[in-house]
């Protein structure tokens, strides 16, 4: 029965390769796993003529002035299809029914 033991240099080499792999995986996850958190938080988008939606404006006026729309026929401002109003911004509506008499 032959048992082969690894020497110290091969264990160090394996550990170094493992650390490199873990580092590469962590770096890739941090780069490619990011989500554009601020991209769709505003209720108005500047839709540029080539179909690009720039959704960072809090009002129509802000979109029109800062969204490069004012400088010519470059696009238009549109409500953001991605925006979900927070609880403070949503109107609360109640279904009121008449009491039975």
Digit-coded pLDDT (tens) for 60-74: 999 888 877 766 667
Task: Tell me the pairing of strands 53-57 and 44-48.
Answer: antiparallel
Q: Rounded mean pLDDT of the chain?
A: 75
Distance between CA 12 and CA 91 in Å, rounded?
A: 63
pTM above the 0.85 mark? no
* 91: pLDDT strictly greater than 50: yes
pLDDT of residue 37: 44
* 22: pLDDT strictly greater than 60: yes
DSSP codes joined into one string, 26-86:
HHHHHHHT---TTTT-SSEEEEETTS-EEEEESSHHHHHHHTT-TTSSSEEEEE-SS----
* 44: pLDDT strictly greater than 90: yes
CA–chain centroid gap for 18, Å, is 31
């Amino acid at each position: 029965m032959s048992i082969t033991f690894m020497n110290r240099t091969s264990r160090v080499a394996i550990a170094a390769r493992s650390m490199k792999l873990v580092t590469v995986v962590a770096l890739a996850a941090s780069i490619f796993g990011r989500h554009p958190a601020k991209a769709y938080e505003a209720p108005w988008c500047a839709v540029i003529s080539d179909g690009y939606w720039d959704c960072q404006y809090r009002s129509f006026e802000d979109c029109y002035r800062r969204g490069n729309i004012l400088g010519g026929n470059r696009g238009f401002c549109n409500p953001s299809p991605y925006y979900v109003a927070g609880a403070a911004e949503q109107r609360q509506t109640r279904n009121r029914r008449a009491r039975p008499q």
